[in-house]
Amino acid sequence: MKGKETVMTKFTIGKVAAAAGVGVETIRFYERRGLIAQPTPIKTSFREYPESAVNRIRFIKRAQELGFTLSEVAELLALSEQSAASRKSVRELAAKKLLLIREKLEDLRHMEATLSKLVDDCSGQGPLHGCPIIEAITDTQIHCN
């Protein structure tokens, strides 16, 4: 009686890209950044990626959607691969990102208020000279309050 053989599915770069929902160039970019390993060609001239590459790319994309930079994604990946890593480390990284996002949202609210006022102040008629929007952009000291 033979034991079960573990068959590992291998993918070409095109199949990995399709399965992960990214382009081939994205995979190559991730390889250059060290986020995914670049496989060596085996038996053929094609490089074969393990099935786990698809999940890793999906992880990278989801982390980016949450606002993490590729450097921060690399940190998350490193933490996820360390058996000694704790949730505390991951939480601290995510908390820092959350703080930055909240700061950006506040900046966007100020930008919205300023631009809204400028749009309200501009009649949209007449010559460009005296346009409050152009003057505000030209002014080196725009006040965002």
98 has pLDDT over 80: yes
pLDDT at 44: 67
pLDDT at 114: 93
pTM summary value: 0.75
Contact 70, 79 (CB under 8 A): no
Specify the higher pLDDT residue, 83 or 68.
68
pLDDT at 46: 77
- Categorize the per-residue pLDDT at 86 as very low, low, confident or very high, splitting at 50, 70 and 90: confident
Determine phi and psi for 51, rounding to 5 degrees.
-55, -30
144 has pLDDT over 70: no
